[in-house]
């Protein structure tokens, strides 16, 4: 379960970096909170 969540977070991170990442920290926090909900 944790492994899947980690992959999802990595994918979100990559998407944000590709976008340009001006609001990188906010997006990472969102994906982190989502992954916590999944667990």
Question: What pLDDT tens digit does each residue of the chain (39 aa) get?
Answer: 566 677 777 777 777 666 655 566 777 778 777 777 765
Question: Per-domain residue ranges for the chain?
Answer: 2-38
Contact status, residue 9 vs residue 32, Cβ threshold 8 Å: yes
Q: What was the pLDDT predicted at 24?
A: 64
Q: What was the pLDDT predicted at 10?
A: 78
Q: What was the pLDDT predicted at 39?
A: 52
Q: What was the pLDDT predicted at 33?
A: 79
């Amino acid at each position: 379960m944790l492994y899947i969540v980690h992959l999802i977070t990595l994918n979100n991170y990559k998407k944000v970096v590709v976008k340009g990442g001006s609001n990188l920290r906010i997006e990472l926090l969102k994906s982190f909170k989502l992954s916590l909900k999944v667990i």
